Amino acid sequence: MIERHKEIAKYISQKVVNEKNYSPIEEHFADNYVYHGLGGMTAQTPKGFMEAIKGFHLAIPDLQSEIIDIVGEGDLLVLRFNFKGTHNGEFLGFPASGAKLKFEGIIMRRFVNGKVAEDWDYFDFPTVVSQIQSA
């Protein structure tokens, strides 16, 4: 099952983050999905998560992610990413700066019955702020 979860995670990252195709959220997220993000940001449904990702895409229209590592055990995966993109819209309270962003992040993802049920998302916020402020 871990290998199937890894395939789903890779598919979601490629389609949703890199290609802005949000249909995998409806397909692979549980109805009672919960998202835990930076600074207390939460979403209580797949639709809420989709709106959060769309917000990232508005702020960083060329956002791209690359999975560096995936580790799994039981119903949990931990994914380590590299992200890059251009800060062209309001992001976490910062107005568009034109900064070229490059940062790492980690998501811990819990599956239930083959669907994504919960995510805990962390990224290198100090690096992002430094890059925005240096632009």
Tokens of residue 102, six digits: 């490059």
Query: Tell me, what's the pLDDT at 108?
Result: 98
User: Tens place of pLDDT for every residue, the chain, 135 residues?
Assistant: 999 999 999 999 999 999 999 999 999 999 999 999 877 788 999 999 999 999 999 999 999 999 999 999 999 999 999 999 999 999 888 999 999 999 999 999 999 999 999 999 999 999 999 999 998
Query: Tell me, what's the pLDDT at 135?
Result: 84
Domains of the chain plus CATH, in order, are: 2-133 (3.10.450.50)
What is d(CA 22, CA 95) in angstroms, rounded to the nearest whole number? 25
Q: Is 0.85 topped by the overall pTM?
A: yes
Strand intervals (E) in the chain: 29-36, 42-43, 64-73, 76-86, 100-112, 115-123
